[in-house]
Amino acid sequence: MQHQDTAHLPTSPLIPTKGARAVRIWLLIIAAMVYAMILVGGATRLTDSGLSITEWKPVTGSVPPMNADDWQSEFSKYQSMTAEYRLQNKGMSLNEFKSIYWWEWGHRLLGRLVGVVFLLPFLTFWALGWTTARLRRRLWALFVLGGLQGAIGWWMVSSGVGDTHRTDVAAYRLMTHFSLALFIIGLSVWVWLELGHRQGDTSSKASRHWSLLLLVLISIQMMFGALVAGLDAGRTYTDWPLMNGHFIPRYYWDEGGLHNLIENAATTQFNHRTLAYVILVLCLIAGWRHARAAGGWFKWLAIGVVAQSVLGIVTLINAAPLHLGLSHQALGTIVLIISIVITKRCFSAERT
């Protein structure tokens, strides 16, 4: 009898007859690396480091400045090509520039490493027969999305390079970049779950509807959070539960029309706060009503959202310092992953 590395024979055309465990471990590594990229990207944003590298060199850009002339060249580009330097960092020293450069360089290097750690094992698994046609389609989709993420990252950075007045990247482009990173980590987790061949969960039609609703709302909330970060809105209104003494901030809808939704700090922070209240109430209800569905994960989601709400308030009233801002982003990503796990397990239970 042929040796299997799992306890059960695969019943899905997605699951290979051998090597599934290795592929699952590898997918977890990829998800962890993307998670690290999200956190490094958050630090890059919170330290205003994203515009320190003014060119996109996918291959040669992996080598940092190696001598004093190289450093001066990079610094000169930053000085001449960004309004951030002219309007915000005028007089910055070379050593201060290096401190922001290393954040952006590290973020880009990690992106390149993710590509290598993905492609080489993928091709190896394929050669060993540890994949199936359906699984390969999902993995190729992940690889293409990773390449697209690099291009969108430069599209984001380019919005602040050569512009005569913008001192940050465009918030809607930051939201796009962040959202795709979340989609990649979510798809990695989803495929990991599919390869697990898990059975025995309980779910109902109602729990499946709740899982989808919460997944959609939490995804939107993460996008709202990216806009808040991109506009530094978390450092604009730092009182709670009101905003500068008002429930609805005075400048919620300024003269920009629909642009308020992506360019107005008051609008984006109010939307982020309000949706947080909605998600908190809904998660508490779902955790109580569907305590046994999806392996009990609705309860963990409720706990995570409560913790995230408290952390969000603490981050806000402290004007989003680096350690709190990163913690809020890190826990928010975990909450999203939990909602993905719930949705997958609810719908897998429907089929068993």
Instruction: Indicate whether 305 pLDDT > 50.
Output: yes
Condensed to tens digits (0 to 9), the pLDDT of residues 35-66 reads 999 999 999 999 999 999 999 888 878 899 99
What six digits make up the tokens of 266?
Answer: 């008051």
Q: How confident is the model at residue 131 (pLDDT cuts 50, 70, 90)?
A: very high
What six digits make up the tokens of 70?
Answer: 């190289």
Instruction: Indicate whether 6 pLDDT > 90.
Output: no
Name the residue type at position 90: K
Instruction: Indicate whether 19 pLDDT > 60.
Output: yes
For the segment 267-288, the average pLDDT, to the nearest whole number, is 97
Could you tell me which residues come within 8 angstroms of residue 294 by beta carbon, excluding any fewer than 6 positions away?
Answer: 201, 202, 203, 207, 211, 341, 342, 345, 346, 349
Condensed to tens digits (0 to 9), the pLDDT of residues 164-181 reads 788 889 999 999 999 999
* Closest listed residue to residue 308, CA positions, set 288, 329, 278: 329
Give the pLDDT confidence score for residue 166 in this predicted structure. 85
CA distance 116 to 146: 11
Angle, in degrees to the nearest 10, between helices 205-230 and 265-289: 160
Instruction: Indicate whether 154 pLDDT > 80.
Output: yes
What six digits make up the tokens of 132?
Answer: 């199936």
**Which H, E and C letters describe 198-219, residue by residue?**
CCCCCCCHHHHHHHHHHHHHHH
Condensed to tens digits (0 to 9), the pLDDT of residues 227-251 reads 999 999 989 999 999 999 999 998 9
Instruction: Indicate whether 67 pLDDT > 50.
Output: yes
How many C-beta atoms surround the C-beta of residue 91 within 10 A? 6
Give the pLDDT confidence score for residue 60 in this predicted structure. 79
Instruction: Indicate whether 253 pLDDT > 60.
Output: yes
Could you tell me which residues come within 8 angstroms of residue 242 by beta carbon, excluding any fewer than 6 positions away?
Answer: none
DSSP structure string for 132-193: -HHHHHHHHHHHHHHHHHHHHHHHHHHTTSS-SS--S--HHHHHHHHHHHHHHHHHHHHHHH
For residue 39, give the H/E element and its range. Answer: helix 20-46
Give the pLDDT confidence score for residue 350 in this predicted structure. 60
CA distance 115 to 145: 10
Q: How confident is the model at residue 295 (pLDDT cuts 50, 70, 90)?
A: confident
CA distance 141 to 58: 20
Give the pLDDT confidence score for residue 199 in this predicted structure. 59
- Structure letter (DSSP) for residue 243: B
What is the residue-averaged pLDDT of the chain? 91
Q: How confident is the model at residue 136 (pLDDT cuts 50, 70, 90)?
A: very high
Instruction: Indicate whether 204 pLDDT > 90.
Output: no
Instruction: Indicate whether 3 pLDDT > 60.
Output: no
Proportion of the chain above pLDDT 90, given as a percent? 79
